[in-house]
Amino acid sequence: MQDRYNMGFVSSRFAGTDGVTMESAKWAEVLRDFGHKSFWFAGKLDIPEDQSTLVPEAYFEHPENVWINSQIWQTLHRSQEVTRRIHEMVQTIKAGLYQFVEKYEIDFLVVQNAVAIPMHVPLGVAITEFLAETAMPAIAHNHDFYWERSRFLVNAVQDYLDMAFPPSLPNIQHATINSAARDELAWRKGLVSILVPNVLDFENPARYPTADPQDVREHLGIAPDDILILQPTRVVPRKGIEYAISIVAKLKDPRCKLVISHESGDEGHEYMEALQEQAEDAGVDLRYVHTKLAQGANGSAGDDSEDYSLWDVYPCADLITYTSLYEGFGNALLETILFRKPIIVNRYSIWIEDIEPKGFRAISMDGFVTGDVVEDVRRVLTDSAYREEMVEHNYELAVRHYSYSVLLRSLRTLITNITGLERL
């Protein structure tokens, strides 16, 4: 092995602002600082062509994979035709992997969630077979496992799940993003993993430029004396947005505007409709602003754009609501801390087990909105000294526990474990 590697990042999609894409970019940035080059393989990409290989069949929304998914979930039997088409897709994707590795002289694969959650079974199988055939060293960065999602529990592909989600091979080092996932992986698969939490560059906050907050508020139709309460999530049931509406309703302050940054996505619109009805009944000013925000990478959209990004909205928010029922980690939590904003947290399991014990402070609730929660919100909104002390305390802890230096130490361990050589 040489001193510096060509790293091959592999997933179904590297595009947009989903958690896998954003965390992958952070890994690549840290690796680049130490001389390693990163190249990208996926079915959907917004990476320059001279650094990537696009294989459309690897995208989870490719028509063939959509058809396969329609045949293998919520049933215990698959037909010979389904098996045949899975195998054909595996061979197509695997051929693309071989070409990718040869073209860029890849030394080391970094598999991003593609052998963890089975949204694309042929992709996971193709990666597993490729690694078994080549013995190439690899890190599997696992964000979500199939046993964490009820829709995958009844299936006709348990043989593939046992084989490839995730695989047990001597040349793969596994990484998980929270301690519960690490423990479940060990219990279910007998696989040891390194805990690598999500991170931001807290040590260099100036690298995250944002637009002028007053311009952003005006763009979103928020008056100067309005209280902007931001829900920085997609509109899906596990985000618990109904709690945010309830909190704003109990504040009984017409200046409060509850702003939701993302749309409903691919999980239907029934939840959004229910939230709109709840807000109307409670007299809450609920606003969806995804149509006014750029959907590219985090950071300011720039002066030449009519749109602003989510990260432009954080600085002009007065309070962040993060009322999720479940999160794999919680990127929005780190973003809130980065921009020094107070936050309401519905104490989801990973917050309780991994984050709260480190001493982070938030307005906490346990699945229901009490009078004490509402009073805590009022205090945070009105007591500037109390609010400042809270957010500065959280920022100092984030530097210690969730900065790029933490990621660097984790990557050093992962690469050393799989190669026996320290290259970071």
- pLDDT, tens only, 368-389: 999 999 999 999 999 999 999 9
Unique residue bearing structure tokens 């990127």: 331
Q: What is the mean pLDDT of the chain?
A: 91
Task: Taking residues 107-136, report their average pLDDT.
Answer: 97
Domain residue extents for the chain: 6-199+404-419, 205-401
The DSSP element (H or E) to which 364 belongs, if any, is strand 363-365
Residue 403 has pLDDT above 80, yes or no: yes
Beta strand segments in 13-118, E: 13-14, 37-42, 44-45, 52-54, 108-112
pLDDT in tens, 2-33: 578 999 999 999 997 788 998 999 999 999 98
Q: Which pLDDT belongs to residue 422?
A: 61
Edge to edge, what strands does the sheet with 6-10 contain?
52-54, 37-42, 6-10, 108-112, 138-142, 172-176, 193-195
Residue range 205-401, CATH number: 3.40.50.2000
**Secondary structure E strands in 158-212:** 172-176, 193-195
Identify the pLDDT of residue 267: 60
Q: Is the pLDDT score of 303 beyond 70?
A: no
- Nearest-angstrom CA–CA distance, 215 and 363: 29
| Percent of the chain surpassing pLDDT 70 | 94
pLDDT of residue 236: 85
**Per-residue confidence band for 1, with pLDDT thresholds at 50, 70 and 90:** very low
The two tokens of residue 93 are 């994707």
If we measure between CA atoms, which residue out of 197, 216, 202, 199 comes closest to residue 338? Answer: 202
Q: Cα(138)–Cα(150) distance, rounded to whole angstroms?
A: 28
What is the model's pLDDT at position 265? 60
DSSP state of 238: G
Instruction: Say which range, 108-112, 217-221, 299-303, 327-331, has the weakest mean pLDDT.
Output: 299-303
Domains 6-199+404-419 and 205-401 equal at CATH topology level: yes
CB environment 7-25: b (16+ within 10 A), e (fewer) = bbbbbbbbbebbbbbbbbb
Q: Which helix (H) or strand (E) holds 259?
A: strand 256-260
**pLDDT for residue 424:** 57
**Cα angle 104-107-109, degrees, rounded to a multiple of 5:** 95
Fold of the 6-199+404-419 domain: Rossmann fold (3.40.50)
> Tell me, what's the pLDDT at 206?
85
pLDDT at 369: 94
